[in-house]
Structure 1
């Protein structure tokens, strides 16, 4: 079962006022007001993002210190190591920073920690590598805010750190030359939802300003930033919306060879959803299956033919990753059933043979079956490592923090986190995590929810309406893709199940005397009984375009039927 929740309607007076001011219909006004857009100026900013809307990078705490330290390193010919995590945010950030610095300076190298030998974040091994190779400055991206002991270790060896992170700081801050993290309490930067690559972009923006470069000069780097924004599930509001908007233009008009090599099969104009489901998994697969350095190699490559070879290699990693995650998901589901834990408030599973690179994906898959906060553990050296995923509305980071006494380390966000613990602590942690969640979760959150923007009639769906809806993109947290409800639909009698195993639902629907629309419901084949024999039903859907035999028509992309 899925809960349907229609968003609160603004007042009729507000809708009417905004409709007049903007010259749009009541539905469009409603959708804008729900997003906090209340006047012409807000609407212009929303529909026409501008590079001028980006904030001054020097508003970020420690930005001047970071810039001066990098300039000193370049003047004095120091070796600079650009260090970042093995996920999409980390590898795009490392690609962005290293390729920018290398435009004018050659003593720059990149370092991505090995997921299996070193784990997440700054590692002692990485610092030893820097020491052995005479690096005196490390720029850490998408990590480092909690690396207090590692930064102290580097300092003993005469290595300085600049940290560019977006994760929540702990109680103690590392003793680095500069820490760029808008989530620090004493950082006055106006927007604190940047991803790691976004913080890296602010640093190159600041470096560029000192050299007389404009933001326009840095636009070619925004394909990397848009990819990280999509993959890291940060809100697509404020500054992220501007960065994502211009980044998607780069991806569609002049992508770097590495991204072009991944997307060359896709003929249509790409959306941020394509980035999330096509580009990001392939970049991620390198770090999951082999090594994140392969992703950096692909993203910084300037020759297209070489990039195609790297992309084929990454494609193979991704195919291996898919096979593994399907296999492990089946084993994890079986473990939940065998332990009779179907009725728990959480899913916590462990097998020491599971591949560490896919446990995060497996956690997300388990939520598709058992909708609740989930942790998947595997063995990592002498310890156990886990990836956590949550359900909408529940802060899994806080729940893990409440079990801190069982843990070696942890980090992450509201909906995704990672942790390590000693094997003897596993059972205790599992029981405590279940207890914490059971006592703090709102039971409603254990039923998936479909948030509906507005109830409309089929006659409201016109080509002009759709053209306006497209301008609401890019979509993501804080500006989710638009979802509608229409009641009293009927199929024309030719509805059927389609696809391999007949799991998808294909309909042709109308509402009273309205126009007829094609409708497709992926994975909704089991709902066909609700639509046959001219039964009336209600549907929740998104609107998109369907191209068939050269003809483009609007169709309903069904999400649920009741």
Structure 2
């Protein structure tokens, strides 16, 4: 296991400590909880109420988004004129949930429409030439893109010549030139004054439909029925769960738990998820299965599942998708082993500040996952490449604090295409450019990355006394969710703790033990992949732990336990 840096959030300054004290009194909560709230920008009772009880009435006016009025006008005109509309989405979770939401909502009032998702391998990311041919051949005069299109200048230009209009709904960074679409909805446009910039592609599509509902006096409650799809996009796309995303995720989880659509329910069942779904369940239970359709076969299968209204049909679709996910895991595991072996057998790669690997036969559908797996072992920016249509196509992943998109952009002269975010990107280059790209990319990373960024870190919210942990404490803590980027599950540190019994090693790699601190109640702690700490633990010395609090429900008996992130010995 790699040593980790424990980064403690600085103690609140004296004026903020006073705010925390007043907040603890106003809310009648533990001072530790009040401190957590102040750290998250919650300073008074009113802000606390909005934080603990998000309200759909607090969603922003969709017409604040640049081009929204034009987009609604064009969509309305297409419907009133009976034009054929093509709903176009990317092949990942955000794209497939976007298409399901947009197409699923519109088809209840208009039937002259269809949806299109490009083939990951034959068409690639974004608007494809094949899709424009398809639209022209089948008489579509309006294409609404979701989670893609912001860089498809040449494709949209060509479509316009063929009499096909575009409305683009995207959330990725625009390039220097916007596509010549009728409307370009993207809160990251420099000229867009929309107050919240971190919507998913599905979120931008939702805002267009929200504006459409306002324009046509359609009750928005009929649109809110689709929030179970939107929360899946928010969770899987790893966007901040703050502001508007927090409101949408909060109500999306409520719907996902209380009344999921037929296809989603089938997916939840086949994933074996028990109890209440949270963001973590969605990220690790639902997201990979939805993604697997596009990685292994075709993402249309995921849309068919999510649109399904017949239970047995949905169960059958879910079974197929689950099988794709099993295949994906097999590819993922074998390619990761190969990739790690390549690094370990090459001195240059071992000493580099980045990882760039290529193998012609690697499955394109899992290279992003493999990049993430490599980062778990070698904590540094990583790009995994494979052959696709005679080119090297790759996925990039980064480490906290390092903008991999900007580093790739510096190598643009060696690339044919690239796009993405700060921490994840995609790129294509001639195969003969790989070595030059590897050298230049590593040079850029080496010149910019800080030594600390090459060491995994654990951000600790608060030093906590175990005696403060009670059922009431946990109940309030749980209500601070949904947790995710921008509002992460709190990580606590407890110092000078000691064993209360003999540790147990489980499945040769995990550890479980009881722990106490200065006469506190005894808590069970579980550390996955931490069996190597056993020899040090049994020496009987005190130690420090950092952990999340979680509730264990075993045989209908609920107990609080500590989910360990790391252990440090004094």
Instruction: Report the TM-score, using the length of structure 1 for normalisation.
Output: 0.98
Q: Which residue of 2 aligns with 1:7?
A: 9
Alignment of 1:105-254 (within 5 A): 105-254=110-259
Give the CA RMSD over aligned residues. Answer: 0.9
SS at match of 2:350: coil
Rounded Cα–Cα distance in structure 2 between residues aligned with 1:88 and 1:369 = 26
- 1:427 has 2:429 as partner: no
Q: Which residue of 1 aligns with 2:546?
A: 540
Q: Compute the displacement of 1:22 (Å).
A: 2.6
SS at match of 1:342: helix
- 1:318 has 2:325 as partner: yes
Which residue of 262, 277, 292 maps to 1:285? 292
Q: Compute the displacement of 1:447 (Å).
A: 0.3
Q: Which residue of 2 aligns with 1:509?
A: 515
Q: Judge conservation of contact 2:262–2:309 (CA < 8 Å) in 1.
A: yes
**Any unmatched runs of 5+ in structure 1?**
none
Q: Which residue of 2 aligns with 1:35?
A: 40
SS at match of 2:341: helix
Q: Compute the displacement of 1:83 (Å).
A: 0.5
Q: Which residue of 2 aligns with 1:330?
A: 337
Rounded Cα–Cα distance in structure 1 between residues aligned with 2:503 and 2:292 = 38
Alignment of 1:294-313 (within 5 A): 294-313=301-320
Question: What do residues 153-207 of structure 1 show as CA deviations (whole Å, max 9, x unaligned)?
Answer: 1011110000000000000110000000000011111101000000011011111
Rounded Cα–Cα distance in structure 1 between residues aligned with 2:555 and 2:196 = 46
Q: Compute the displacement of 1:429 (Å).
A: 0.8
Q: Judge conservation of contact 1:493–1:532 (CA < 8 Å) in 2.
A: no
Q: Compute the displacement of 1:34 (Å).
A: 0.7
Question: What do residues 476-526 of structure 1 show as CA deviations (whole Å, max 9, x unaligned)?
Answer: 110001110001111123211102xx1111001111211101111111111
Q: Judge conservation of contact 2:545–2:567 (CA < 8 Å) in 1.
A: yes
Q: Which residue of 2 aligns with 1:439?
A: 447
Rounded Cα–Cα distance in structure 2 between residues aligned with 1:61 and 1:551 = 52
Q: Which residue of 2 aligns with 1:22?
A: 27
Rounded Cα–Cα distance in structure 2 between residues aligned with 1:343 and 1:382 = 30
Question: What do residues 376-432 of structure 1 show as CA deviations (whole Å, max 9, x unaligned)?
Answer: 000010211010000011110111111111111110000000000111211111100
Q: Compute the displacement of 1:64 (Å).
A: 1.0
Q: Judge conservation of contact 2:20–2:43 (CA < 8 Å) in 1.
A: no
- 1:389 has 2:397 as partner: yes
Rounded Cα–Cα distance in structure 2 between residues aligned with 1:309 and 1:13 = 58
Rounded Cα–Cα distance in structure 2 between residues aligned with 1:529 and 1:222 = 49
- 1:57 has 2:55 as partner: no
Rounded Cα–Cα distance in structure 2 between residues aligned with 1:273 and 1:220 = 22
Rounded Cα–Cα distance in structure 2 between residues aligned with 1:387 and 1:55 = 34
Q: How many residues matched?
A: 560
Rounded Cα–Cα distance in structure 2 between residues aligned with 1:254 and 1:324 = 34
Instruction: Report the TM-score, using the length of structure 2 for normalisation.
Output: 0.97
Q: Compute the displacement of 1:217 (Å).
A: 2.6
Q: Judge conservation of contact 2:273–2:285 (CA < 8 Å) in 1.
A: no
Rounded Cα–Cα distance in structure 2 between residues aligned with 1:218 and 1:73 = 20
Q: Judge conservation of contact 1:453–1:483 (CA < 8 Å) in 2.
A: yes
- 1:411 has 2:413 as partner: no
Q: Which residue of 1 aligns with 2:464?
A: 456
Q: Compute the displacement of 1:267 (Å).
A: 2.7
**Any unmatched runs of 5+ in structure 2?**
none
Question: What do residues 246-286 of structure 1 show as CA deviations (whole Å, max 9, x unaligned)?
Answer: 00001000001111001123230111110000000000000
Q: Compute the displacement of 1:68 (Å).
A: 1.0
- 1:367 has 2:375 as partner: yes
